[in-house]
Structures are given as structure tokens and as C-alpha cells.
Structure 1
Amino acid sequence: MPRHYTAETLSLEGPDAIAFAQAQFSSQVTALSDGQWQFSAWLDAQGRVRALFHLARLAEDRLLLLLRGGDAASMADALRRFVFRSKVIVQALPSRTLGTGDAMTTHTVNETPVLMFGCDTHSLVIGAHEDDAWRLSHIRAGWPWLPDSALNALLPPALSLERLQGVAFDKGCYPGQEIVARLHYRGGHKRHMHCVVLSQPVSAGSVLRDGAQEIAHVLDAIAVDAHSEALAIISDAIEEQANRDVLRIANDNIEVRLQQRWPA
């Protein structure tokens, strides 16, 4: 089944919006200038990724989150439990279309005439036309979009969030910070994200198994000619079983060709 993408967004507004986001999210929010975005995540106490998103600073006291998976209403409801006395309004915005626009410098944001997130060779356009031409370049760049099966299930190293500058290790406490720091300084995480080519179409969120053994957890996949290109989480032990960078799943007669592996 083709995967349908919409722009799920939520806003943080008020004098304490930046401080609130800095205390809740994994990235260095205070480093954002107006008109810029960064990758960021909201983690649970065990360090698992509850939400992954583009975090944009639209004004001095206004942030916008473009979620890469999940829904804005649920996240907004969960975030409000941590507002307490902070002067910040957390609001889920209506779902809008998500499409591809002209080339625009990565990490820049433009609100005129519509909201656009710069991604180098293209931009993500919110609220205008709808298409998924952006997806293949994001898969090849290792920019994951999380299916429901991956929410609250993966640690930041599995999604290569350090490479994406989506986690900070020197900014003080935020949910999951101790786990993130331990994994960074001591290592030991044994699951990593790969760009793979699949010999047949597979739906995002699928867990590919050979018997009882999990081979790959597919985050996103798109058909290209007679095969699919995908981002998948694969354990280091399974990667070692590859023969010339190919894993074969006899159950479903699927070949998984490992194209690229990203570090934490």
C-alpha cells in the first residue's frame, strides 16, 4: 500500500517557548536563529524516541515542529503536561498537504508565500500542492520518517541522530539525556540505520523476519523500478551475516542489499 504523507505540525509560542523546548527536546534549541530549522527529537525517560521532527524558529518567541511520523494532536496533549508555569502555548495545527518545492538552502525556513523547509536540492512545502517527490532523496540522505511501529521503540543512535545534529550532550538535562550521554560516551549500541535496496515492495513499518529472527525493521520505503529503496534498522549481528552486502530472507523470498550504514 502506498504511504500517505501529510504535514503534521504543532507550534510553541510565548516568552518561554525557547526555554521550554530546550528543556524538553534533544537538540541545542538555543542555537537556532530566526528563519532556521534543525533536526530534533522528544525522548522518553528511557531515551527512546517519542517523536522526530524538523524544529523551526519562525520568530523570537515562536517555534514550529514538522513531525516526521506520529500525529500533532497526541504530541501536543503530551507536551502540555510539562508546561507547568512556563509562559508557552502548545497548539496542534490542522493537518495540511506536504509537497516538494524548489531548491533551498538546508536548515532555512521561509514563510512567504507558504511555509517551506530548505533541504538543499529541494524544499518541503506545507499547505500548497501535495506530492512525494522529496521522499527518495530523504531516504538516500538517511533522513528517517518514523512509522507507528517505530515510535517509542528506538534509541537515538539507531536513527543516527548525532550525525543529524539532533542530540546535544552538553546542554543540561532533558528527558532521556542520561541514556543519550551514556550511549555517546560509552558506546555499545548494536542497532543502526541502513539504506537498503529490497528486491520487492515492502510497506513502511514492516518487520522482515527469517523464521523467528528479525532481519530488518523498515522505516520508510519507496518503489524504484522493479525494486524498493528503504531505510531500515538492522542489528550489527545480522549485518555480519551478509554475504557480499546481501541478506536473503527465505520466508518471503526477499533480497536485502545493504547500500549504506550510518553511525550513531
Structure 2
Amino acid sequence: MPSRTTRPITLAGPDAAAFANAQLSSDVLNLGTGRWQWSGWLDPKGRVRALLQVARVADDRFIIVPRGGDSDVLANDLKRFVFRSKVSITIGDACFVADGDAHDDMHAYEDEHGALVFGEGDASIHIGMRDDGDAWIARHVEKGFAWLPDEALDALLPPALSMERMLAVSFNKGCFPGQEIAARLHFLGGHKRHLRTVRPDVALTPGQSLRIDGREAGITLMHNGLNASPISLVVLDDSVAQAETIEIEGARLHIISTFAA
């Protein structure tokens, strides 16, 4: 099975850090050169337009890797907010996402072949021309690192994707799109959807609506069927996820873990 692909977006120029910090949900200004962080771009209502991995490969150059969605649309929308900022926004060619060896956690660099490497401690992922299949998906499902199908874009709030746990949202850096809603959920709570790993008795499809008695109760984000025991990453309403095993239309889900907001 070929690896999924993504098209990295590069921000470069003297104002690249300030521009990224003003638009993205993470604390980009405190991201060191040679490091990466989780981030997102939210709409004014706080919904996640894009879940991102952001690497600072030079003091004035950042590479943004969208985890799902259309990079052309994302980059063109970002360009609308450049105004007088000294920053250029360019879109790279489609790159494969592939597994890599253990590398320092949150360390990022471009290798001799031009691939971008994101260290995860016990492993790494490579964004480049190497097509090694989807073995990395199992690890990311287990760790709750989502890749968003089209059906999940502009539909989920940060707590449903466990973005605070991933330090993808900062409330100490100033304003960014959707901050008011994200901060309200952070300080007041009340969000009733969480990210979960489940073991289904049938294969789930990314983007598949999870329904109980005709009511939409969640969505499938990722499914790993390569191992003998398939596992999926889903978002589920808390009200239906109290038991270890739940019945949805067409499948039974055994809940393995629930990730904090």
C-alpha cells in the first residue's frame, strides 16, 4: 500500500515567525531552530481548519506540513492575511509520509535528500520522496496523532483532537483566529467530545460517520488494518462512550483509550 501524501507549505522571510504566530494556534515564536511542534489553523468559531506539524528549519524559514486537507486552499487562504508582512508563502510538491528510525523527540531537520524529518523519540517520520508504505499509521493511531479526512475539516474543536495535550494550542501568546472559543473551552470546559482509540470488529473508513440509533455520535479519523488486530482513531461523544464496548450502526467498538483535551 503506498504512503499517503501531503504538500508542505513554506513560510520564509524576516516576518515569517511573527506571521505564523499570529495565524497558528501554537507558540511559534518560542519554537527553536531545528525543532518542530504541533499546531493548527482555526476558523473564527474555533473549529480546526487544519491540523499541522510546523518545523523551524532556519531562523526565518518554517515548513508547515498539513495532516489532511488541501494545501493549495490552505496556502492561498493564508496569503490573504500577509498584508505588509515580509513573508513569502510557497507550496511544495506532493511528498510521501514514511516511517523513520528513532530520533530526538521534537527535533526537525532536512536530510541530504531534501526530506523533512520529524523526530518522535522512539521513531521519526519522513516527509519526502521515499515511499515506504503506511507503517507509521499504527503508531500515530496509538499515540492519538490524528490525520484529518476531508469530512473532519472545519467540523471539530481543538479539545476533540486533544490539541492541548499535544501543546498545539497556546493561551499565553496573544491573539490568533478562533482564540476566544478555544480559550473558553480551556478555562470553562464543557466540551463533550474526545479523541479515542478503539478496536472495531469491522474495518472503519476515515471520514465515516459513527451513528447510534440514527444519530451521529462521532467520526472516524484514521484506521490501521495492517496488524492482526485492527485499531482506529475516532472522535466520540462522551455520552455514548461510558462503556468499554459500544454498538454503532454496522459495527461494535471496544474502547482502548481516551485522550485528554
Aligned to 1:24: 23
SS of corresponding position for 1:149:
helix
* Closer, same or farther: CA 3–248 of 1 in aligned 2, 3 Å: farther
The correspondence of residues 195-210 of structure 1 with structure 2, limited to 5 A, is: 195-210=197-212
Kindly indicate whether residue 67 of structure 2 is the aligned counterpart of residue 57 of structure 1: no
TM-score calculated relative to the size of structure 1: 0.94
Unaligned runs of 5+ in 1: none
Deviations 1:79-129 (A, max 9, x none): 000000000001111111221111111211121213211122221112232
Aligned to 1:105: 104
Aligned to 1:258: 255
Aligned to 1:66: 65
Q: In the alignment, is the contact (CA less than 8 A) between 1:100 and 1:133 conserved in 2?
A: yes
* Closer, same or farther: CA 120–171 of 1 in aligned 2, 3 Å: same
SS of corresponding position for 1:83:
coil
SS of corresponding position for 1:97:
strand
| Distance apart, 1:3 and its partner CA | 8.5
Q: In the alignment, is the contact (CA less than 8 A) between 1:195 and 1:232 conserved in 2?
A: yes
CA RMSD of the aligned region, Å?
A: 1.4
Aligned to 1:122: 123
The correspondence of residues 152-163 of structure 1 with structure 2, limited to 5 A, is: 152-163=154-165
Aligned to 1:174: 176
Q: In the alignment, is the contact (CA less than 8 A) between 2:6 and 2:68 conserved in 1?
A: no
Corresponding pairs, count: 258
Runs of 4+ in 1 over 2 A off after TM superposition: 224-228
- Look up the equivalent residue of 2:260 and give its one-letter code: P
* Closer, same or farther: CA 37–189 of 1 in aligned 2, 3 Å: same
Percent identity of the aligned residues? 43
Worse-superposed segment, 219-228 or 230-239 = 219-228
Q: In the alignment, is the contact (CA less than 8 A) between 1:49 and 1:156 conserved in 2?
A: yes
TM-score calculated relative to the size of structure 2: 0.95
Worse-superposed segment, 146-155 or 231-240 = 231-240
| Distance apart, 1:214 and its partner CA | 2.1
The correspondence of residues 205-220 of structure 1 with structure 2, limited to 5 A, is: 205-220=207-222
- Look up the equivalent residue of 2:213 and give its one-letter code: G
| Distance apart, 1:162 and its partner CA | 0.5
Paired with 1:247 and 1:226, the residues of 2 have a C-alpha distance of: 21
Q: In the alignment, is the contact (CA less than 8 A) between 1:195 and 1:260 conserved in 2?
A: yes
- Look up the equivalent residue of 2:147 and give its one-letter code: W
Aligned to 1:238: 240
- Look up the equivalent residue of 1:119 and give its one-letter code: E
